[in-house]
A and B are shown apart, each in its own frame.
Chain A
Amino acid sequence: MNEETPQLRYTKEHEWVKVEGDIVTTGITDYAQKQLTDVIFVELPKIGKVVKKGETLAVLESVKAVSDVYSPVSGEVLETNEALVSKPELINRKPHSEGWITKLRVKDSKELDNFMTAREYEDFVEKEK
């Protein structure tokens, strides 16, 4: 991993989450951004949108592919990273910090128990390779 990210948790869809109370910040992992290659466009959800876990939260268009970002939890979109509109490359440069995508308010805190730790995620990626 490029960035120091001990407090982050991970999903099998190669997304990271940062949990602060009932607020969850989301983004894609360094591994995911390398797979995507240069991101050229980010389609963000509308503020206030209610999403279910596993639904499309955002869309990333890279020079290679167009991929959906799935919502790691059910909840409401509180904030989106507007900087990505003009600088989608932040997802490649700083995937775990400035390249965050959305902040969500979690509906059911039980959903927060199933994420992987950094180590678990690294093992998961190794197996996927």
Chain B
Amino acid sequence: MDYVPHTEKERREMLMSLGRKSVDELFADIDKRLILKNDLDLPPAMSEPELFRHMLTLSEKNGEALHKRCFLGAGAYNHFCPSVVNHIVSRSEFYTAYTPYQPEVSQGTLQAIFEYQTMIGELVGMDVVNASVYDGASALAEAAIMASDITERDEIVVSSTVHPEYREVVKTYCNAHELKTKEVPYDDGVTDSEKLEEAISEKSAGVFIQNPNFFGSIENVFEIEKVCHERGCLFVLSVVEPTSLGMLKPPGEYGADIVTGEGQSFGNPLNYGGPHLGFVGTKKEHMRHISGRLSGMTVDTKGRRGFVLTLQAREQHIRRERASSNICTNQALNALAATVYLSALGKNGLKELANLCYQKAHYACDKIKEVAGFQPLFKAPFYNEFAVRCPVEPERLNERLLERGIVGGFELGRYYTELKDAMMFCVTENNTKKDIDHLVEALGESGRN
């Protein structure tokens, strides 16, 4: 079946009006070598029941995190999502709306975004938080442009303990903005403070740190803050596992100037790596440099409360060419999920959750330490992820774990060539004690050559 709605007659009329004899002639500008000459190699068409069965068979190949014992983190976290989240985000008023920014028709969405900004602002200790961007990586990259605009400097200092994929995105953005990036090595799982001091110059716009960092370790943020501000550059902090904020201080309280992060942990399923949501927050003094949309609370002509987009002059409306960024989109539905999730958990719920993740991860680490050949890689304190040295190749170990229904840890050698024998485990509230014991047992069996 052909899905092109035009009739043969309509096509002839269009070609005639364009002065072309055939569709091929219309595309004559395309290099002949690029044009496909045979039909696509596709299996014959299926009936609906056949297709249904086919898709079902394909979907059964998926390894759904809840069906496995999953110990994989490294930027996407397997947290439990309360049913209320899906219930609210599945309301068609929310999920069918595209770019719902017009205040006349979008009070509900704008209010939800406002609540989201307020909650994230409180968690990270920032005065202003945007309506969200694509993900944690693009959020950090937006911060690079902001930092350069604020300080009028053109160099970004990034710790090698920042998520490797985030660093790639930051570099891509910086390349287009003609900003230089410098990477700082790590020492015992955290940013090397001596090397950091050496890396900062009078050209440095900001120091980019992730906390807890990619290895799960807690950075020496107080020390880093001092070094940053002594040298006149901004302290930019990325929070990739935001449930950690149920236990750790808000970055604003230890002097971060810009806080960005990934909100997936809050009520968003793993979704094969996306869609997720990124947040960007800053202090009031820098609010005109913040990228993305902001929803603000105001009153109408009759004094009634209402919500509108605010500070729009910064981006595409008036000063497009001068804006820090022209990103106008946001991840409204994902941000809504985060908002409902945080409302459901509340202040104490988030604390309890963080405590659960922390305790379970430390229990797992202690147990794994006892398995012959496995050793923690670093001594730095950690939240819910930790790296261990393995007696067998991490790739092989993961294959063996998968055979036992376990999704193992992240193979650090993929990004850190010096860590080819290391694996990083993540433990959340979704991992029961039984799961952890099962993992430890499986490691004992799989860790032998």
Contacts and interface: CB of A to CB of B under 8 A. Distances in A.
A binds B: yes
Interface of A: 41, 43, 46, 49, 59, 61, 65-66
Contacts of A59: 322
Given A61-B313, A65-B318, A66-B318, A43 B152 contact: no
A66 B152 contact: no
A41 B152 contact: no
Contacts of B318: 65-66
B341 to A, nearest CB: 35
Nearest to A45: B152
Contact of B152 (A46, A61, A65): A46
Given A43-B288, A66-B319, 6 more contacts: A41-B288, A46-B152, A59-B322, A61-B313, A66-B313, A66-B318
A52 to B, nearest CB: 15
Nearest to A56: B322
Interface in B18-37: none
Please name the 4 residue pairs, one residue from A and one from B, whose CB atoms are nearest each other, closest first.
Answer: A66-B313, A66-B318, A66-B319, A61-B313
Nearest to B313: A66
Contacts of A43: 288
Nearest to A46: B152
Interface string B143-155: 0000000001000
Contacts of A66: 313, 318-319
B121 to A, nearest CB: 20
Interface string B291-325: 00000000000000000000001000011001000
B184 to A, nearest CB: 26
Contacts of A65: 318
Contacts of A61: 313
Nearest to A85: B285
10 contacts: A41-B288, A43-B288, A46-B152, A49-B152, A59-B322, A61-B313, A65-B318, A66-B313, A66-B318, A66-B319
Contacts of B288: 41, 43
A46 B288 CA distance: 16
Contacts of A49: 152
A46 B232 CA distance: 13
Contacts of B152: 46, 49
Interface in B215-242: none
Nearest to B287: A41
A63 B152 CA distance: 27
Nearest to A68: B322
Contacts of B322: 59
Interface in B91-149: none
A49 B288 CA distance: 20
A17 B365 CA distance: 69
Nearest to B289: A43
Nearest to A49: B152
A39 B291 CA distance: 22
A35 B319 CA distance: 18
A37 to B, nearest CB: 14
A49 B151 CA distance: 12
Contacts of A41: 288
Nearest to A40: B313
A93 to B, nearest CB: 22
A38 to B, nearest CB: 14
Nearest to A65: B318
Interface string B318-337: 11001000000000000000
A53 to B, nearest CB: 19
Nearest to B152: A46
A77 to B, nearest CB: 12
A39 B322 CA distance: 19
A41 B314 CA distance: 12
A43 B322 CA distance: 13
Nearest to A41: B288
B201 to A, nearest CB: 18
Nearest to B314: A66
Contacts of B313: 61, 66
Contacts of A46: 152
A113 B446 CA distance: 85
Interface string B33-55: 00000000000000000000000
A15 B152 CA distance: 25
B256 to A, nearest CB: 21
